[in-house]
Copies of this chain bind each other. A is one copy, B any other.
Amino acid sequence: MKKLVFGIDIGGTNTAFGLVDEVGEIFGEAAISTRKYTHFDDYPRYIEDLATAMKALVNSLDINFELVGIGVGAPNANYYKGTVEIPSNMWKYTDEQIAAGMKEEDRMFNFADDLGKHFPGTPIYITNDANAATIGEMVYGGAKGMKNFIMITLGTGVGSGFVANGEMIYGHDGFAGEFGHVVVERGGRQCGCGRKGCLEAYTSAGGIKRTAFELLATMTDPSPIREYSFDQLESAMLSKFALEGDPIAKECFRLTGQKLGYALADAVTITSPEAIFLFGGLAKAGNLIFDPIKHYMEENMLITFKNKVKVLPSELQNKNAAILGAAALVWQAK
């Protein structure tokens, strides 16, 4: 009988899921809202509704199959414990709960156990979104057959997954791979994590926009960017402007690639990967971002590693990467 797994991608807005086979074909997809379940007390109903929607998808399919596992990608998920811990935009305490003494740092959800009650006997694996993307690349994408590689996800945040000896590095506590929070500029830009100078503050979608506004101050060239407020400008516009020749937009990509290139040269000294994959909005900018990354990475590379490490776009870029990544978690664990 055909074997399928559920891949579930829990985002702040929606929870999307699909049934996926071993070669990455998706046999049906659906989604429920995540945002609708804002509060801590909504969480049990969220689990109920998710399980119901998943079973509805199963029943809607025309094929016979065996469900061999469920893989989940979620923010702040802990692979070892099966938990989602203090997710910033989901299942939050109300003001009353906080006033009654409930503490943010205790907000933890036994996601794997709770969903598991609806699928008895089916193994559930959970990890954060960037790790899921990494395993997706390893099982279905360009990292197939690679034992040592790095995945960098460039989106609203900067995430990463490090694979060594053919295994995902989860680390002692299950939270390894926070490459967006290596400090690349001591005392630099304020980061969402509360510290200063993290890679994420420079190379996320918001980071490159911050660079654009910094350059509006330091450069004098006329630029279409000058017509937008900070709130109006979207980071995707910068590729368009750069391709049209705007010097400020071009400089944005050079500086962003420089920060990433420097940081990647340091990461290479630690894990010596065969390749580095880039995924997410910024990675879609093609040569605009790949060229400066490669240039500054090689310029700063320890001689041992020079001209050895490939920098490649994710091969899941235009596919349903989040669902595939979550599904891959199951196949990888088998």
Contact = CB atoms under 8 A, between A and B. Distances in A.
A273 B179 contact: no
Interface centre among A176, A270, A273, A274 (most CB of B within 10 A): A270
A173 B308 contact: yes
A59 to B, nearest CB: 39
Contacts of A267: 270
A308 B175 CA distance: 12
A112 to B, nearest CB: 19
A309 B175 CA distance: 13
A302 B195 contact: yes
Interface in A269-327: 269-274, 300, 302-305, 308-309
B176 A270 contact: yes
Contacts of A147: 172
A246 interface: no
A172 B274 contact: yes
Interface in A157-191: 160, 162, 164-165, 167, 169-179, 181-183, 186
Contact of A176 (B181, B262, B271, B303): B271
How many copies of the shown chain assemble into the complex?
2
A266 B182 contact: yes
Given A164-B171, A165-B167, A270-B270, A300 B183 contact: yes
A105 B181 CA distance: 36
Contact of A169 (B165, B170, B195, B308): B165
B262 A175 contact: no
B272 A173 contact: yes
Contact of A269 (B167, B178, B308): B178
B195 A172 contact: no
A265 interface: yes
B272 A176 contact: yes
A271 B182 contact: no
Given A165-B167, A165-B169, A169-B165, A182 B270 contact: yes
A153 interface: no
A52 B168 CA distance: 44
B178 A304 contact: yes
Contacts of A195: 300, 302
A121 interface: no
Contacts of A173: 272, 304-305, 308
A302 B181 contact: yes
A308 B173 CA distance: 9
A333 interface: no
Nearest to A177: B270
Contacts of A262: 183, 186
18 contacts: A160-B270, A162-B270, A164-B164, A164-B171, A167-B167, A169-B272, A172-B273, A172-B308, A173-B304, A173-B305, A173-B308, A175-B304, A175-B305, A177-B270, A177-B272, A178-B269, A182-B269, A183-B265
Given A175-B304, A186-B262, 5 more contacts: A148-B169, A169-B271, A175-B305, A194-B303, A270-B271
